[in-house]
Amino acid sequence: MENSRFIAGQPVDVSTGSIRVQRLLCPNASVMTGPGTNTYLIGERELALIDPGPAIPAHNSAIIEALAGWPLKWIFVTHTHGDHSPGTAALKALTGAQVVGLSPPEGAAYQDHGFVPDRVYRDGESIQCDGFSMRLVHTPGHVSNHLCFLLEEDAILFTGDHILQGTTPVILPPDGDMTDYMNSLEQLRQMPLKALAPGHGEVMTEPVQMIDTLIRHRQRREQKVVKSLGALNSCTLNELVLLAYDDVPAHLIPWAKKTLLAHLYKLQRDGRARSDGAENIEECLWEIM
Ligand SMILES: [Zn+2]
């Protein structure tokens, strides 16, 4: 075996532009996952992997093949949704890799409750790997246990579902939170980044521009929610979503409702909207303040 996975000076994978980052696309394309989940393999000798994806045997085999006999030492998991973390267990069993991530929030929906990290990790902690280091950046918003990972040597940020290419993430309240999401975006905007490597879609090479676009998109949506609330006066979530998200195709409305609720909770917290407090969220009436 050669003494490195690198061919001198050549990117391992042109889609990432980095000599040490290889992208493997999981065959789980869908409305929610776009072209599928991106799994990233990083390093030269002892390797790290980001997001094993769902437990799909073909993808697991593709990962093992890409390792090409090199040891997998670290499995980094951005968050514990079904399209990101369930492949972890089989991969850990095969390789003995250390699992880095945050435990799923208790009782939250769509979560892989079987996910167990090897220890508790802190925001800002940097993990020294073989020839590179990975910094943990806690980015709650999409869900509360979301991490981005910064490959410090290349200034590439692995963004999971916090920043996607080609679409915007759903915010899933009550665990997901719009105020947290906006704050997480502002935090990333201050970081000197060269590229964003998302959980779904292509690598993005203009991080600040992308983050600004996302912030503006959320602010414009919030304004539209306020305007729609004003126009409808007292309304349910179902009534409001059709006006505030009239630009969204019908099949995505159930997901838009979740992000709309996250906007409403933020507006309530900001003192700009109020609800009648009905326990059934479908019957709850909202109005502008
Ligand atoms: Zn997700």
Q: Where are the domains of the chain?
A: 21-205, 216-288
- Which pLDDT score, from 0 to 100, does residue 13 have? 78
In the reported structure, the alpha carbon of residue 9 is separated from the centroid of ligand 1 by a whole-number distance in angstroms of 34
21-205 has CATH 3.60.15.10 classification: yes
Among 179, 113, 105, smallest CA distance to 143 is for 105
Give the C-alpha separation, 148 to 134, whole Å.
Answer: 10
- Which pLDDT score, from 0 to 100, does residue 18 have? 80
In the reported structure, the alpha carbon of residue 179 is separated from the centroid of ligand 1 by a whole-number distance in angstroms of 17
In the reported structure, the alpha carbon of residue 79 is separated from the centroid of ligand 1 by a whole-number distance in angstroms of 7
Does pLDDT of 9 surpass 90? no
Does pLDDT of 2 surpass 80? no
Cβ < 5 A residues, ion ligand 1 = 81, 161
**b/e sequence 198-211, b meaning 16+ C-beta within 10 Å:** bbbbbbbeebeebb
Question: Which band of pLDDT confidence, cut at 50, 70 and 90, is reported for residue 14?
Answer: confident
| Annotation: CATH topology of 216-288 | Arc Repressor Mutant, subunit A (1.10.10)
pTM score, whole prediction: 0.95
Question: Which band of pLDDT confidence, cut at 50, 70 and 90, is reported for residue 8?
Answer: low
Q: Which residues contact 202 (CB under 8 A, 6 or more apart)?
A: 15, 165, 166
More confident residue, 234 or 2: 234
Among 117, 90, 97, 101, smallest CA distance to 46 is for 97
In the reported structure, the alpha carbon of residue 220 is separated from the centroid of ligand 1 by a whole-number distance in angstroms of 23
In the reported structure, the alpha carbon of residue 81 is separated from the centroid of ligand 1 by a whole-number distance in angstroms of 5
| Residue at 184: amino acid letter | S
In the reported structure, the alpha carbon of residue 142 is separated from the centroid of ligand 1 by a whole-number distance in angstroms of 7
pLDDT in tens, 258-277: 999 999 999 999 999 999 99
In the reported structure, the alpha carbon of residue 110 is separated from the centroid of ligand 1 by a whole-number distance in angstroms of 9
Does pLDDT of 4 surpass 90? no
pLDDT in tens, 158-185: 999 999 998 999 999 999 999 999 999 9
- Which pLDDT score, from 0 to 100, does residue 12 have? 73
pLDDT in tens, 119-139: 989 999 999 999 999 999 999
pLDDT in tens, 52-68: 999 999 999 999 999 98
SS3 47: strand
Q: Stretch 13-17: mean pLDDT, rounded?
A: 78
Q: Stretch 2-19: mean pLDDT, rounded?
A: 72
Does pLDDT of 31 surpass 70? yes
Q: What is the mean pLDDT of the chain?
A: 94
Give the C-alpha separation, 70 to 65, whole Å.
Answer: 10
DSSP 211: H
In the reported structure, the alpha carbon of residue 53 is separated from the centroid of ligand 1 by a whole-number distance in angstroms of 11
In the reported structure, the alpha carbon of residue 84 is separated from the centroid of ligand 1 by a whole-number distance in angstroms of 7
In the reported structure, the alpha carbon of residue 4 is separated from the centroid of ligand 1 by a whole-number distance in angstroms of 33
Q: Is 173 exposed, middle or buried (CB count within 10 Å of its CB: 0-12, 13-18, 19+)? A: middle
Q: Stretch 135-147: mean pLDDT, rounded?
A: 98
